[in-house]
Amino acid sequence: MADTPLVIAPNLKRRLSGVTATVVRLIPVQARMIAIRATGPGLPPEVPHIPLLRAATLPRDRWRVWHSRRNTEMALGLILRHILRRKYRMMFTSAAQRHHTGFTKWLIRQQEALVATSDKAASYLDAPSTVIMHGVDTETFIPVTDKAALRRELGLDRDALLIGCFGRVREQKGVDLLVRAGLRLLPDRPQAQIIFTGRITPDNQAFADTLLAEIKAAGLQNRIRFLGELPWDQVVKHYQALDLFAAPARWEGFGLTPLEAMACGVPAIGTRVGAYETLIKDSVTGSLVETGNLESLTDALRYWLDDHAARDAAGIAARQHIMANHAIEGEARALVAIYNQLLSQP
């Protein structure tokens, strides 16, 4: 890559989030197509990046692109352009499926290119945008041939029928729905287990404690487990170790986790939020269930847990679906095309 990048992708959040995960997986792919660097705290070494101070002091010899994904990043980009006089074209990607605040609307109006991750997200921008759905790295998220060996490595039960749900532990993600569906289903299915990965923030500790108490009261504390926040490479391995993935969110901006699971050959259950209705092919690569509905989620889990042949076929179909429709290279190329349009402007 060139020493002076043409595109800067800021990531102004240290802890892992959906936006950070997007930057981490996408920038290395884009770096094969254009001179791009991420900037910000907490980025892993494999992500091409430069210090924030350098991004703020790049030469004014040509226009570059500042590609934001958060309000703070849009605001910083405007400071760099209008106060520090850096030659940045402003670009913003939005996954939000809600009405924006007045300040966010003002920030959006200052952008020269807008991208939405779904048609629903685009409808809330109130400005022309290009819909570019997220893709998944199909060389990182791959099925494994020896799942039992991987489970031994991870300290998981090699013979379990393993359900996963990944992301921060909170009500928005429907963690309580999956726990309570598990409390109904697991007593009659001794092989079935559920694992959650993701951070429990202080404001969600009481929520998690209530669920842990219910699990303990049912005697299922060894079969419904919260593993906490894991390093990125461990998250990938836990996807690969699963038999079934569940994303019972009550609200979601886009929702990348079912894509990552399906790329690993794992069927996915998702609610009708975010982009799940586009990502998951109902009854083919998994199931779509009614949002916030415990009965609907329980029925879908029961079906996939009990029909091994259907589950295996859905896993194969899931991988094929991702390879055909949601490989990350397509997302990267579409974004790079917009970068080039902005860079070609006088």
* pLDDT tens-digit map of 61-105: 999 999 999 999 999 999 999 999 999 999 999 988 888 999 999
Is residue 140 domain-resident?
no
Residue 20 and residue 63 share a domain: yes
**57 and 161 belong to one structural domain:** no
Asked, for residue 141, whether it belongs to a domain, the answer is: no
Task: Indicate if the pLDDT at residue 15 is higher than 80.
Answer: no
Domain assignment of residue 157, yes or no: yes
CATH of the domain at 314: 3.40.50.2000
210 and 238 belong to one structural domain: yes
With 0-12 / 13-18 / 19 or more C-beta atoms within 10 angstroms meaning exposed / middle / buried, residue 199 is middle
* CA angle 177–178–183, rounded 5-degree value: 100
Residues 116, 188, single domain; the answer is no
- 241 lies in which domain range? 147-325
Shared-domain flag, residues 318 and 331? no
- pLDDT tens per residue, range 120-148: 899 999 899 999 999 999 999 999 999 99
* Per-residue pLDDT at 112 exceeds 90: yes
Which residue type occupies 102? Answer: G
Distance CA 16, CA 256 (A): 13
Within-domain flag for 159: yes
Residue at 68 is within a domain: yes
pLDDT number for residue 53 = 96
Q: Which pTM does this prediction carry?
A: 0.84
Supply 263's token pair.
């790329």
- Based on C-alpha coordinates, what's the Rg of the chain? 21
Of 186-190, 250-254, 317-321, give the lowest mean pLDDT range: 250-254
Question: How many Å from the N-terminal Cα to the C-terminal Cα in the chain?
Answer: 24
Segment 289-318, tens digit of pLDDT: 999 999 999 999 999 999 999 999 999 999
**Residue 2 — pLDDT band, cuts 50, 70, 90?**
very low
Residues 188 and 306 in one domain: yes
Q: In what order do the strands lie in the sheet with 224-226?
A: 224-226, 192-197, 161-166, 244-247, 268-271, 286-289
**Number of separate domains in the chain:** 2
For residues 320 and 332, state if they share a domain: no
- Identify the pLDDT of residue 16: 62
- 275 pLDDT band, cuts 50/70/90, is confident
Residue range 31-40, pLDDT digits in tens: 999 999 999 9
What mean pLDDT value characterizes the chain? 95
Answer yes or no: do 82 and 67 share one domain: yes
Instruction: Looking at the structure, tell me whether residues 107 and 248 fall in a common domain.
Output: no
User: Does 243 reside within a domain?
Assistant: yes
Q: Is residue 2 part of a domain?
A: no
Residues 252 and 319 in one domain: yes
pLDDT tens readout for residues 235-269: 999 999 999 999 999 998 888 899 999 999 999 99
32 and 159 in a single domain? The answer is no
User: Position 68: which residue type?
Assistant: S
Q: Is the pLDDT of residue 1 over 50?
A: no
55 falls within a domain: yes
Regarding whether 168 and 126 lie in a shared domain, the answer is: no
